[in-house]
Structure 1
Amino acid sequence: MQEPFTEEEEETDSMNKARRDSPYILPHAHHTGPQLPSWPLSCLLALQHLLVQVSFLCIFHLLFITNLPPNAIRCCDELLACNLFACGIATTIQCGLGTRLPLVQAPSFEFLIPAIVLTQHMAPTRHSKGNSTDAPDLCAKPDCESTRSSDQLFHEVSGAVLVSALVQMALGISGACGWIAHRCGPMVLAPSLSVIGLSAYKPASLLCSENWGVALLLVLLNILLSQHLVSCRLPLCQWSQMRGFSVRLGGPALHMFSILLPFSGIWLVCGILRPIAALWERWHLSTHHLTLTNSTLQSPWLKVPYPGQNGWPTLSPHAVAIGAAMGVTASVNSVGCYVLCSKALRLPAPPQHAYNRGLCAEGFGSLLSAALGSVSGTASSIPNACAACLTQGTSSRPVWVTAMACILFGLSPRLMGLLATIPLGIHGGVLCLTYSVAVGTGVSFFQYTDIDSGRNIFIVGFTMFMGLLIPRWLLAAPGSLATGCVPVDLFFLSLLMAPAFITGSLAFFLENTVSGTPQERGLLNPFSPCKPEARDNYLQRSNMGSAQSYELPIALQKHLSRSWCKGFPLCLLCPLEKGKEESANINPLEVLRCSEEETTDPLLKQGTLKIESELQLETVQEPNVAQENLESHKRPIAAMPEEFSSIIMGKPLL
């Protein structure tokens, strides 16, 4: 006999039902699933993606150019055009053959810091302490190398990008990326994503300091549109022969374009007021070189980039060492971006073959970028993924349109020069908004773990603290890391200057060596990449359709025979059996019930624990339930299957 609802429970249930049925509450992923946005809406979302991508592209080249000697500065417009062209092709490959997630490709800070380390070693420059980057001064001693020409400098950096591409492709083809990623639980992902977001505070503060008014205006407008006006729907006028003109409520346009509207509006106002002696015309000293190179009148309207147009990359020992560090750190950043995007789409964690293919796609993009003479490779863009999470525009169609736009804009250096006139305060505001979402996404992974556990408190605090401490220490004392071999010094210096690599590697080591229960480690949740699963698990069967979104296109699968997929390296890039990639890529260990006092080893043994969803389903199906179990639940047993169906489908309980 069911117990009646209390007044408080009835009120809570009615509020939750009203919230679920309300048309003004946005779903977590607005454009996921088979329904795609219309083409006009896709073009607007693609424009928003393009502005965020170009903003980060300008930030990368700005911070790189300011660390070059004055005689080594090259035309910024052509560099931007070549890199954007490579990013467009890499985005197409990533969405079509890589992870197949809607990920825009762009440079990352993991390419920037090693490139600055290499340039400062080859061409020593003297900068003030207020410089914009976290690159150490390697040439404080008299035995530094002499300054080289600008062509040699750019060829060395392109050579490092080429080596990083080979490292990325090697990690993908060998399956190392997927193997490591599927052993990264929430206790590894949470601090890593949080530090990825926190590591951008210094360039964000520098760019915002160019004009705090512009940066704060962008941030405040975004908060107003994306948070306070989230349920505001604009009226749309339609005309038809049957009904004539009609007015209806449209979609949440203010929320979906909460970055596009402030970005374009502030840029337009600043462009109108540019001839006037406005406050934002007082450029910072660190950006003086970039403003001088933004001469759009000297750039051609059309220039098709081709490999070797500015010379071929140089593979010196220094470039090889720096490139290896670039490839490793960029791979860590990409894995975090894959997890972030899959969580925004409410998809299960990508399987191993998706990680491997995604890293191979990024390696191909970096290879093309190096051949075109660019100073940066391609990686999954954290700002674009965070912008999609913020605006709930996570469809693949706008990303395809963005890729085509990147290729077209990459053919015109003069148009890229016009895009480079975006005020620096806008760049700083975009960094503040996007990387704050990365921090919040990392923190959200703590909900799957027992954060009150002393084990988890130590792992989180220690890894995040060391991830921010070690780069700061090396920035102040780069000479303390000296092995006697300069390439080895550059390799370790570039690795240890990346906060995400330090935090991720330390968290991975501690998570897989310090014993803890699966509940502590957060392994019993549907979004954990390394969750132990049984073959007949109901949760796995419910996620089977979602996991198929990571497979190769059907047209390509028809031309791949099963015998090919069983050989190396296709066995690590393609699923062995359609619809069973989870059982092939996840640790296939049967797990049984584990007592609360018992701790588990890092490698779970057969017969040690049982899936949480199976335990819950068995509890529901038991005919005779003890009275003490009834008292521990607020709702009657009849309401329990609906809750479990919500858990299985990955929807939060309201």
Structure 2
Amino acid sequence: MSTENGTIGSQGEVNGDVMLTHFRKKDDDDANGEVETEETQVYIENYKDKLLIYGINDSPPIHVTIICALQQGLLSLSGQLIVSLLVAEAVCASKNDAFKARLLSSTLFMSGITTFCMNIFGIRLPLFQGAASEYVIPLLLMADTDQTFCTSEPSKEGGQSPVPATTTMSPNFTNSSLGNYTNNDEITMDRIIYNVQMIQGSLVLAGFVHALLGFTGLIGVMLRFVGPLTIVPTLTLIFIFIVGPVIKFVEVNWGIAFSTIAVAVILFLYLAKYNMPVPVWTPSLGFRIIRYPLHQVFAILISIVLNWLLCGVLTYAGLLTDDKKNIGYNARTDARIQIVRDNPWLTFPYPGQFGPFGFSGAAFISCMIATLISVLDSIGDYYACARVCRVPAPPKHAVNRGIMIEGLCSMLSGAVGCGHATSTYGGNIGAIGVTKVASRHVFIATGVIYILFGIFGKFSALFISIPYPVLGGAIVVMFGIFFGVVISNLEVTNMSSPRNIAIFGLSIFIGLAVPTWAKKHKSPVQTGHAMFDKIMSMLVGNPNLVGTIIACFLDNTVPGTAEERGIAAWQVSEEDERADVDRTEFNEGYEVYDPLIPRSIMYSKLMKYIPFLPYKRGNVEKELGNVKTS
């Protein structure tokens, strides 16, 4: 409550996101107004009634920031591992452990770089940028349709020549460092490196196109035609096909996986209305007990640690199989301990570490398909994150900036040789809904942690040794929450409309049916032109592409109002940005999207012509004066 002499807080009143608030009361008895008496009132905030404990611009205590960042990092670790292993499969290196370790270090390093850049320079929502699974599907389809992709040597015919390791790889990264490895199918290191180089050049070019979409503002134009009825089916199809890789983790031991899920669900759902007593000590107030939703903030991390310990106990007691051929072996805590021993202490990924870039037309088309899906995925994630963080929908300049940063980092990821681009991870958005911690500082710290993971090989290998069913259970919780967030985007559409129901149902069903049919035929498209047939077979086998095309076509050709389609709710005008937001609906306003540039520059008329930066109309002196006064 407010008084004439100052501000006084009372117990149960929410004045900020801290547990202890100091109140200062001014006495105006002195003529000069120089006499002040300070009162300190201590109270415990009612966290259970808050939809968010820490908002985007809030700075949690350093220990909370580090632990939350570690939790977010652990949740995403399995995703990095899965995508990295699938890229190794696509370039025919599934049996080369040394190469897979190097590829994983590069993936972790680039995920850290991209996450840091997105939160500092990009859209500035609390987002984790990791290895994009969208790029793996077309790469695997390309390998399937090209019968010579995994032959022992690249063919010399048609202008393609083998790539000698002695002349193509960096001097610091040779066959000897990877192991001059040949698997049972005679796949040499030369062939693996050749495949990586073909993807590198194609991915760099696709990343450039990706960045260009944001730099030129074409994404803002795209938002006129792409709304919830296009993006929700796209993300839904991704979820459906993510089930397969997740099952590979969960089926190792269903009991441990369900235990991981159960612990997390109990902590953040069933116990959501309770605050845990936590002992704290400060020099000014000494030792005391406060109530804080610790179990909810760290629900997933607590579940991972407890079930990791459970696996350790079961391993020590001999209750888990020691047969390496048995699927249950990966539930043991020592199943992948060799990774820790073999990984080097230090490694530093850099552009060109696999040699000069190559180019493949099929690989470029694959990457461009993935880029389209990735852009739609990211746009949907931006709006979903804004909804979870209780901030207004992102304006066009913020979306443009986010896509531009993603594209630039995808170029760098391709140059480093990761074999994939980087994209927004929806599961971490779901984790925000669980923990109620939406601070940008947490994700900046997560980016730094991932950079260290990529550099310190043995440190990252320790987390990779987490038992598979524990990772699988955490992924189920994480993606389950985010799937609910994705579906909630349909709230802004009129789902009682037969039009919208038909578009959503048809796009999902056709997106599943066509690729399922394509998988049953070795060559689903046969026109007599081998290259065209190969490319078209790859396109019709991609569920995300098929579903997206159907949804976008129907949504833009079947008559319907902007409000009915939900596009109106995603469009932010300049007037909306200048207006005061409804604080009963939003915790923070459009200021969370402002880039790190001097505020006075935003009032320059030059900003009207830069689509990825905000332009604020009005008199700069007047506006800045009002800001200082307020």
In structure 1, which of residues 182, 206, 230 is the aligned counterpart of residue 248 of structure 2? Answer: 206
Confirm or deny: 8 A CA contact 1:174 1:572 kept in the other structure: yes
Residues 28, 473 of structure 1: alpha-carbon distance in 2 compared, 3 angstrom cutoff: farther
Question: Displacement of 1:203 after TM fit?
Answer: 1.5
Q: CA deviation at 1:546?
A: 1.7
Q: Which residue of 1 aligns with 2:372?
A: 328
- Counterpart in the other structure of 1:91: 115
Q: 1:45 aligns with which of 68, 74, 92?
A: 68
Is 2:570 aligned against 1:529? Answer: yes
CA 467–565 in structure 1, closer or farther in 2 if over 3 Å, else same: same
User: When the two structures are superposed, what TM-score results if normalisation uses the length of structure 1?
Assistant: 0.73
Does the residue aligned with 2:570 lie in a helix, a strand or coil? Answer: coil
Q: What is the identity percentage for the equivalent residue pairs of Structure 1 and Structure 2?
A: 27
Q: 315-324 vs 66-75, which deviates more? A: 66-75
The C-alpha deviation readout for 1:327-368, integer Å capped at 9, x for no partner, is 222222211211211111122222222222111211222222
CA distance, structure 2, for counterparts of residue 277 and residue 123 of structure 1: 45
2-structure distance, mates of 1:234, 1:376:
42
Deviation (angstroms), 1:282:
5.2
Contact 1:309 1:372 in 2 (8 A): yes
Aligned mates of 1:222, 1:283 — CA distance in 2: 29
Residues 127 and 425 in structure 2, CA contact (< 8 A), matched pair in contact too: yes
SS of residue matched to 1:237: strand
Which residue of 51, 54, 73 maps to 1:28?
A: 51
1:301 and 1:194 map into 2 onto residues whose CA distance is 40
Is the CA contact (8 Å cut-off) linking 1:87 and 1:378 kept in structure 2? yes
What SS class does the counterpart of residue 557 from structure 2 fall into? Answer: coil
Aligned partner (choices 306, 312, 332) of residue 265 of structure 1 = 306
Q: Does 2:358 align with 1:314?
A: yes
* Residue in structure 1 matched with residue 169 of structure 2 by the alignment: none
* Cα deviation code 1:561-593 (max 9, x no counterpart): 9365344xxx2211233699xxxxxxxxxxxxx
C-alpha displacement of 1:400: 0.8
What does 1:115-154 align with in structure 2 at a 5 Å threshold? 115-120=139-144, 121=146, 149-154=191-196
1:115–1:241 CA distance, 2 compared to 1 (3 A): closer
Match of 1:631 in 2: none
Give the alignment partner of residue 294 of structure 2, picking from 248, 253, 267.
253
| Amino acid across the alignment from 1:170 | L
Structure 2 CA distance for partners of 1:24 and 1:43, relative to 1, 3 Å: closer
Q: Which amino acid aligns with 2:591?
A: Q
1:292 CA displacement: 7.9
Q: What code does the residue aligned with 2:111 have?
A: C
Q: State the AA in 1 paired with 2:278.
A: L
In 1, the alpha carbon distance for the partners of 2:496 and 2:343 equals 58
Shift in CA distance, 529/106, structure 1 to aligned 2, threshold 3 Å: same
Q: What SS is found at the alignment partner of 1:574? A: coil
Q: Distance in 2 between matches of 1:477 and 1:284?
A: 32
In structure 2, the partner of 1:384 is 428
Letter in 1 for 2:308: W
1:90/1:364 contact within 8 Å kept: no
- In the TM superposition, residue 115 of structure 1 has moved relative to its aligned partner by 2.3
Q: Does 1:80 align with 2:104?
A: yes
Preserved contact between residue 314 and residue 320 of structure 2 (Cα < 8 Å): no
1:410 aligns with 2:454: yes
Structure 1 residue 213: Cα displacement? 1.6
**Residue in structure 1 matching 2:393, options 349, 353, 370:** 349
Equivalent residues of 2:56, 2:440 under 8 A apart: no
Aligned length: 532
- Is contact 1:72-1:149 (8 Å) kept? no
**2:372 and 2:551 mapped to 1: Cα distance?**
16
Q: Give unmatched runs, 5+ long, in structure 1.
A: 1-20, 127-145, 581-654
Q: Report the alpha carbon displacement of residue 43 of structure 1 after superposing the two structures with TM.
A: 0.8
Between 496-505 and 33-42, report the one with greater CA deviation: 496-505
Equivalent position amino acid for 1:38 in 2: P
Matches within 5 A, 1:142-291: 149-240=191-282, 244-249=286-291, 251-271=292-312, 273-274=314-315, 277-279=318-320
| Residue 100 (structure 1) shift | 0.9
Gaps of 5+ in 2: 1-43, 152-186, 620-630
Amino acid at match of 1:27: K
Superposition map of 1:449-464 within 5 A: 449-464=493-508
Give 1:280 deviation, angstroms: 6.2
> What's the secondary structure of 2:616's corresponding residue?
coil
Q: Deviations over 1:386-423 (max 9, x none)?
A: 22223222110110111111111211222222222122
* Cα offsets for 1:149-177 (capped at 9, x unmatched): 22112222333432331231122223222
Cα deviations across residues 34-89 of structure 1 (Å, max 9, x unaligned)? Answer: 43321111111101111012121112223444563666664322211111111111
Secondary structure of 1:235's partner? Answer: strand
Mapped partners of 2:280, 2:329: distance in 1? 50
**Is the contact between residue 87 and residue 365 of structure 1 (CA under 8 Å) also seen in structure 2?**
no
Contact residue 226 and residue 391 of structure 1 kept, 8 A: yes
Deviation at 1:436, TM superposition (A): 1.7
Query: How far apart are the structure 2 equivalents of 1:236 and 1:536?
Result: 45
CA distance 1:348–1:499, shift in 2 (3 Å): farther
CA distance in 2, matches of 1:323, 1:579: 43
Judged with a 3 Å threshold, the aligned counterparts in structure 2 of structure 1 residues 499 and 430 are, in CA distance, closer, same or farther, namely farther
Which residue of 2 is the match for residue 471 of structure 1?
A: 515
Q: Compute the TM-score of the two structures, normalised by the length of structure 2.
A: 0.76
Structure 1 equivalent of residue 77 of structure 2: 54
Q: AA paired with 2:590?
A: A
Contact 2:75 2:475 in 1 (8 A): no
* Distance of aligned partners of 1:153 and 1:46 in 2 relative to their CA distance in 1, 3 Å threshold: same
Range with bigger deviation, 37-46 or 538-547: 538-547
Structure 2: distance between partners of 1:160 and 1:523:
33
* Residue pair 1:382, 1:438 contacting (<8 A) in 2 also: yes
Residue of structure 2 aligned with 1:565, choices 594, 603, 607: 607
Alignment check: 8 A CA contact 2:202 2:364 kept: yes
Which amino acid in structure 2 is aligned with residue 295 of structure 1?
A: I
1:307–1:30 CA distance, 2 compared to 1 (3 A)? same
**Residue in 2 that maps onto 1:507:** 551
Per-residue CA shift, 1:277-322, capped at 9, x if unaligned? 4436556789999x78953323220122222222233212222222
8 Å Cα contact 1:191/1:442 also seen in 2: no
Partner residue, 1:516: 560
Matches of 2:541 and 2:337, distance apart in 1: 29
Q: Compute the RMSD of aligned alpha carbons.
A: 3.5
Q: Which amino acid is 1:185 matched to?
A: G
The one-character-per-residue Cα deviations of 1:465-509 (angstroms, maximum 9, x if unpaired) are 122222322222251134555555555455544434433332222
The letter of the residue matching 1:94 is M
Aligned to 1:553: 596
Task: Give a deviation string over 1:87-127, Cα, whole Å, max 9, x none.
Answer: 1111111111111111111012201112222344365679x
Q: Give 1:118's aligned amino acid.
A: M
Tell me the amino acid that sits aligned with residue 551 of structure 1: D
Cα pair distance change 1:386/1:510, threshold 3 Å:
same
Matched position secondary structure for 1:554 = coil
Summarize the Cα distance change of 1:421–1:520 in structure 2 as closer, same or farther, 3 Å threshold.
same
Give deviations 1:577-616, integer Å, cap 9, x for gaps: 3699xxxxxxxxxxxxxxxxxxxxxxxxxxxxxxxxxxxx
Give the superposition deviation at 1:231. 1.9
Pair 1:515–1:54, CA change in 2 (3 A): same
Q: What is the match of residue 415 of structure 2?
A: 371
Structure-2 change in CA distance of 1:447 and 1:280 (3 Å): farther
